[in-house]
Each structure stands twice: as structure tokens, then as C-alpha cells.
Amino acid sequence: MSQVKFALYGSVKGRVQGVFFRAEARLKATQLGLSGWVRNRLEGDVEIHIQGTKEQMDAMGDWLQQGPPKAQVIEVNLKPVSLDESLSGFEIRS
């Protein structure tokens, strides 16, 4: 029996560009078994879409609050969205 999956979409604000945020987010998401994507926004934020079980999403949410060592996360805004069945794995988008 497979576990129920959820999807979240949103942004991470603060000093999150130029600090390996996207690469570290992909690494963490892959370790957790999440699918989705992450990309920089022109405004200086990071945009993210993640999909997984509640436990996986909770763990990623905790990580997003801190980010990688050089990041300074000010705010994480995530909201539930529909699953994107076409996603497999986690990628960095441009």
C-alpha cells in the first residue's frame, strides 16, 4: 500500500541566492525521496515545488526554514497545490 502524497508550492525569502540554496535543496529533497523542482526568481527569492508524503514534506519544511549554512532564510511561504504526476526526481530549473 502506497502512502498518500501531497504537493506544496511557494517561495523562500532572504539571502537564498548565491549560497548554493538550490543545489542543497535538491540534495536534501533527493535524500528524502521527494520529487519536484527549485529555481531562482528575479526578485531574489527561491521558488520551490515539492511532492511527497507528510513525513517527507515535514522534514523538507524544517530544512527550508534554515537552508544551507550560508543562507539566511527570512520567510518560507508554502501552500498546497495539485500533484504534478509528470515529475520524477528533483531538479533545478532555470
Active site residues: 22, 40
Distance CA 94, CA 7 (A): 20
Q: Is residue 61 within 8 Å of 53, Cβ to Cβ?
A: no
Query: Residue 51: what are its φ and ψ, rounded to 5°?
Result: -135, 135
Which segments within the chain are labelled E, that is strand?
6-15, 35-40, 46-52, 72-81, 90-92
